[in-house]
Amino acid sequence: MGAITVIVATPLLSAIILALVPNYRLAAKLNILFSAITLVAALVQFGVEPSSGALFVVDAFNVTLIALTAFVGLTTSVFSAGYIGHEVAIRRLDAGKLRFYHAMYQAFMFTMLLALSANNLGVMWVAVEGATLTTVLMVSLYRTAASIEAAWKYFILCGVGIALALFGTILMYLAAQPVMGPGMAAMTWTDLMVHVAKVNPAILNLAFVFLLVGYGTKVGLAPLHAWLPDAHAEGPTPISAVLSGLLLNVALYAVLRFKMLLAANGAAIAPGPLMVAMGLASLLLAGLMLYRRRDIKRFFAYSSIEHMGIITFAFGMGGPLANFAGLLHMAMHSLTKSAIFYAVGHAVQVKGTQRIEKIAGLTVSHPVLGWGLLAGVVAIAGLPPFGIFMSEFLLVTSTFAREPLLAVPLTIGILVAFGALVLRVQQVCFGTPSGANAPIQGSLVPLFAHLALVLVAGLWLPGPLVAWFQTVAALLG
């Protein structure tokens, strides 16, 4: 369990250190360094046998998401350095806010990694709540009326969701207590998996409904999704990247852990239909709402809702192939959507606006950035040869084979969203350049590093990675 301790402790200690560093340039470099240390420790976990203790658990499922979280955390810290430097130059942020920003960034990484590695259901809930609080503070970083309103909406809606998740966690403990006795064992996930078949299914069912709705709010599933577009639009773009690329995954991870408990109790309800219904609702709603968005960050926030709906649908369908598709889609969405927000962050800074109609002709005014953003949109739209095409193809074909009637709304939702993406990307990337044309500040390396990985995944998945995903798919049931 040594590497897990390093993974969790590094961002926590980093947050304390960065809170004391007044120079934002030094803080940005330290932020990258600490994130790199976390990634190295996360990669070490791939060589460790599954294990569990009172606090932490290590298995193929959470190791995958821990490594993904650490990688996107590192690349976002690299993007953040240039982005924040520009915000200082135009005086949107000052030294005090930057010290707060870098400390909260690492605190956010700490809460997500703690949630992913926790073996205790209560600790997982506390970590997800901590992730909510840290991101609420970062969404309001600019202290404008709009950003404060967005932060409050985020806090209130996710506060309701996390309260429902707490009630579901308490019900889970109450259901387990008669079988396992009072104490920590009834809150420990690995112990619950052993004894959950003997747990009262009625209480288990009720607990899962509360947990699905509660954590589903954090996933951005309809109908409790309204916080997500505002949080993306008003917060700093690096926070949009980690919100879409990481936090939504962490909340869904919590749902899937409880889904595994229900699947191990033969008398409990099947959690799949509930997840399929919420996934389809989110996909169809987001696909339609994409056509009415005029703010580029809100636009891609609704795209995140769409894709989390697809992923939730995949895990709701279950089975080896659908679970494999869901895992692959989760990884590809994290890499692609964070890359898109890197590009969007640069585009907003060089154009001086978030309005889609005022960001035009990027491939002419800033060719590298424009074509990078176009590649990201092509990838997120599910076109070959990128990895999301592969995951959506696997999901659609497996759904047609098993439940043809469900495959129809799934395909319609994907096509509706595809149309909106094609429409908007033409406005942004092509045509006569409009608005300001300031030079790009910061590195484009994180953008193209992510796109390269998504491209490689669409063309060729290494055998060991396929075997690893198959192992995780089997764990999910």
| pLDDT tens track for 416-428 | 999 999 988 888 8
> To the nearest 10°, the Cα dihedral for 236, 238, 244, 246?
-130
Half-sphere exposure of 116 (CA within 13 A, CB side): 28
Query: Torsions phi, psi of 360, nearest 5?
Result: -135, 155
The structure tokens listed for 138 are 């970062």
The chain-wide mean pLDDT, for the chain, equals: 89
Q: H helices of 181-200, where? A: 189-195
Q: Are 373 and 340 in contact (CB under 8 A)?
A: yes
Percent of the chain with pLDDT over 70: 99
Average confidence (pLDDT) over 309-332:
94
The structure tokens listed for 445 are 């390396």
- pLDDT for position 358: 86
Spell out the residues 6+ positions from residue 340 whose beta carbon is closer than 8 angstroms to its own: 300, 373, 376, 377, 380
- Band the pLDDT of 44: cuts 50, 70, 90: confident
Q: Count helices and strands (H / E) in the chain.
A: 20, 2
Q: Are 324 and 470 in contact (CB under 8 A)?
A: yes
Rg (CA), the chain: 21
Query: Torsions phi, psi of 41, nearest 5?
Result: -65, -35
Q: Which residue has the higher pLDDT, 429 or 126?
A: 126
The structure tokens listed for 207 are 């607990």
| Largest distance between two CA atoms of the chain | 69
375 has a pLDDT exceeding 70: yes
47-61 in b/e form (b: 16+ CB < 10 A) is eeeeebeebbbbbbb
Percent of the chain with pLDDT over 90: 50
Q: H helices of 185-224, where? A: 189-195, 201-219
- pLDDT for position 436: 66
d(CA 34, CA 45): 17
- pLDDT for position 4: 86
| pLDDT tens track for 223-279 | 888 888 888 888 888 988 998 888 899 999 999 999 998 888 887 888 889 999 999
Q: DSSP character for 196?
A: G
| pLDDT tens track for 166-198 | 999 999 999 888 888 887 888 888 888 888 888
Q: DSSP character for 269?
A: P
Spell out the residues 6+ positions from residue 335 whose beta carbon is closer than 8 angstroms to its own: 68, 72, 245, 387, 450, 453, 454
339 has a pLDDT exceeding 90: yes
Q: Which residue has the higher pLDDT, 1 or 214?
A: 214
- Band the pLDDT of 435: cuts 50, 70, 90: low
d(CA 419, CA 340): 18
Count other Cβ atoms within 10 Å, centred on residue 278.
24
Residue 143 burial (10 A CB sphere; 0-12, 13-18, 19+): exposed
The letter for the amino acid at 242 is V
Query: Torsions phi, psi of 56, nearest 5?
Result: -115, 155
The structure tokens listed for 132 are 């909510």
51 has a pLDDT exceeding 90: no
- CA-to-CA dists, residue 404 to 320, 390, 418, angstroms: 18, 19, 21
